[in-house]
Amino acid sequence: MKISQWVSLVRDTAQAQELPKEDAERDITHSLLVLLANSPFPPPLLAQYIQTALGSAALARPGYVASIIASRVPALALPAAEVAFSAINQALASAPSQPSYPSDTPAETAQAVELVLNSLLPLVLSSPTSALETIRYLSYFLSHLPHRLTKDTVDAEQLEICAKTVRTAVEAVSKVGPKDAPVLAKLRHELEALERKLKPRGRRRVPSKVDLDEADELEALGTPYGDVALLVSRMLSNPLIPTQQLHSSLLALIRYRTAQSTFRKSTPEKALVHLLAEVLGGLIQTLQDAKRADVVLESLLFAKVPHVLKSLSTVDGLDKLSEALADALRLVQGRLAKAISEGRRDMDSVFSHFVAACCQSDLLLPDIGASLARDVDVSELQPTMIEDYHHRLATGSIDDFKQVLDDAVHSYAAQHAIASAITSLFAAKAQSADLAGLADLCDTLAENKDAMSVVFLHVEPRELLRPVRQVLDSFDTTQENSDDVNPIERYGSLVLFVQLVVSRFKLLDNLAYHLDSSSSFIATWLPCASAVYATSTMMDDERNAVSGWIGALFGEGISDDLMHATNPRTLLRVAPTILKQSLKARQAGIVDMDSLRDALSYFLQELLRFTLPGVLKWLITEIERTPPSPQQNSMLDLLQVLVFSDALPSAVLELVALDLARLLLSPTFASNVSPAVDIARLRKTIAPYRPPPPAIQATIVDEHAAFEAASKPFLSGAQAIEGEELVVVAIPSLYDSLRLSLRTAKTPSIFFSRTFLPQIFFRPQANGEHVTPGAYSRRERYAAAVLAAPDSNNRPLVVNIVWALTPQDLAEWDRRLLPAGTTDGLVGGEAERMQVELLGDAIAGAVVLVKGEAEASATPSSAQHLSATLDELARRVEEVRRSRKSSTADVQDEEKTTALDAFLDRLLSWPAVVEHSPRLSALAAE
Q: Is 704 within the bounds of a domain?
A: no
What mean pLDDT is predicted for residues 873-899? Answer: 69
Same domain assignment for residues 393 and 321: no
pLDDT digits (tens, 9 = 90+) for 835-878: 888 899 999 999 999 988 887 776 777 778 888 899 999 999 98
Confidence band, pLDDT 50/70/90 cuts, at residue 200: low
Task: Give me the DSSP letters along 736-780.
Answer: HHHHHHHHHHSSHHHHIIIIIHHHHSPPP-TT-PPPPHHHHHHHH
pLDDT digits (tens, 9 = 90+) for 85-97: 999 999 998 888 8
Closest by alpha carbon to 805, among 748, 848, 742? 748
Among 215-229, 770-784, 911-925, which stretch is predicted with the lowest mean pLDDT?
215-229
Number of domain units in the chain? 5
pLDDT at residue 452 in the model: 96
Task: Give me the DSSP letters along 159-222.
Answer: HHHHHHHHHHHHHHHHTS-TTTHHHHHHHHHHHHHHHHHHSPSSSSPPPPSS-HHHHHHHHTBS
Same domain assignment for residues 555 and 621: yes
Pairing of strands 896-898, 817-819: antiparallel
Closest by alpha carbon to 191, among 165, 215, 214, 230? 165
Q: Is 776 within the bounds of a domain?
A: yes
pLDDT digits (tens, 9 = 90+) for 243-276: 999 999 999 999 999 988 888 889 999 999 999 9
Other Cβ atoms within 10 Å of 336 Cβ, number: 19
> What residues are paired with 221 via a beta bridge?
719
Residue 146 has pLDDT above 60, yes or no: yes
Phi, psi values for residue 335, rounded to 5°: -70, -40
Radius of gyration of the chain (CA): 40
In Å, how far are 4, 75, 120, 474, 640 from 115, measured between CA atoms?
A: 34, 12, 8, 89, 101
End-to-end CA distance of the chain: 60
Distance CA 568, CA 83 (A): 110
pLDDT at residue 625 in the model: 92
Among 59-63, 119-123, 292-296, 878-882, which stretch is predicted with the lowest mean pLDDT?
292-296
Asked whether the beta carbons of 412 and 360 are under 8 A apart, the reply is yes
Distance CA 618, CA 613 (A): 9
Distance CA 441, CA 526 (A): 21
Same domain assignment for residues 766 and 815: yes
pLDDT digits (tens, 9 = 90+) for 398-434: 999 999 999 999 899 999 999 999 999 999 999 999 9
- The dihedral over CA atoms of 632, 635, 640, 645, expressed in degrees to the nearest 10, equals 180
Same domain assignment for residues 521 and 557: no
Phi, psi values for residue 665, rounded to 5°: -85, -5
Same domain assignment for residues 373 and 432: no
pLDDT digits (tens, 9 = 90+) for 600-614: 888 898 888 999 999
Look at residues 479, 495, 527 and tell me which one is the last residue of a structural domain. Answer: 527
What mean pLDDT is predicted for residues 312-320? Answer: 92
* Percent share of the chain, pLDDT over 70: 87
Average pLDDT, the chain: 85
Residue 823 has pLDDT above 70, yes or no: no
Residue 209 has pLDDT above 60, yes or no: yes
What mean pLDDT is predicted for residues 310-339? Answer: 90
pLDDT at residue 43 in the model: 86
Distance CA 14, CA 434 (A): 117
Three-state SS for 241?
coil
Q: Is 329 within the bounds of a domain?
A: yes
Asked whether the beta carbons of 114 and 165 are under 8 A apart, the reply is yes
Distance CA 801, CA 747 (A): 11
Same domain assignment for residues 375 and 398: no
Residue 20 has pLDDT above 70, yes or no: yes
Confidence band, pLDDT 50/70/90 cuts, at residue 574: very high
pLDDT at residue 1 in the model: 64
Same domain assignment for residues 522 and 538: no
pLDDT digits (tens, 9 = 90+) for 154-199: 888 888 899 999 999 999 998 888 889 899 999 998 888 888 778 7
Other Cβ atoms within 10 Å of 605 Cβ, number: 11
Distance CA 27, CA 18 (A): 13
Q: Is 78 within the bounds of a domain?
A: yes
In Å, how far are 264, 435, 641, 680 from 637, measured between CA atoms?
A: 69, 36, 6, 15
Asked whether the beta carbons of 330 and 264 are under 8 A apart, the reply is no
* Percent share of the chain, pLDDT over 90: 43
Residue 382 has pLDDT above 50, yes or no: yes
Q: Is cis: bond before 758, omega within 30 of 0?
A: no
Task: Give me the DSSP letters along 16-40.
Answer: HTT--HHHHHHHHHHHHHHHHHT-S
Same domain assignment for residues 312 and 259: yes
Distance CA 670, CA 679 (A): 9
Number of helices followed by number of strands (H, E) in the chain: 49, 2
pLDDT at residue 483 in the model: 56
Same domain assignment for residues 570 and 623: yes
Look at residues 468, 498, 527 and tell me which one is the last residue of a structural domain. Answer: 527
Q: Is 161 within the bounds of a domain?
A: yes
Same domain assignment for residues 26 and 172: yes
Q: Is 811 within the bounds of a domain?
A: yes
Same domain assignment for residues 354 and 490: no
Residue 679 has pLDDT above 60, yes or no: yes
Which positions ≥6 away from 780 have C-beta within 8 Å?
A: 838, 841, 842, 845
Which positions ≥6 away from 832 have C-beta within 8 Å?
A: 816, 818, 899
pLDDT at residue 221 in the model: 59
In Å, how far are 76, 158, 363 from 350, measured between CA atoms?
A: 79, 63, 17
Q: Is 858 within the bounds of a domain?
A: yes
Which positions ≥6 away from 347 have C-beta within 8 Å?
A: 284, 288, 336, 339, 341
Q: Which residue has the higher pLDDT, 741 or 625?
A: 625
Residue 355 has pLDDT above 90, yes or no: yes
Same domain assignment for residues 185 and 245: no
Q: Is 700 within the bounds of a domain?
A: no
Phi, psi values for residue 426, rounded to 5°: -60, -45
Confidence band, pLDDT 50/70/90 cuts, at residue 586: confident
pLDDT digits (tens, 9 = 90+) for 28-56: 889 888 888 888 788 888 888 888 888 88
pLDDT at residue 723 in the model: 45
Look at residues 527, 553, 586 and tell me which one is the last residue of a structural domain. Answer: 527
Asked whether the beta carbons of 148 and 892 are under 8 A apart, the reply is yes
Three-state SS for 266?
coil
Task: Write out the residue range of the structural domain in which residue 101 sits.
Answer: 3-198
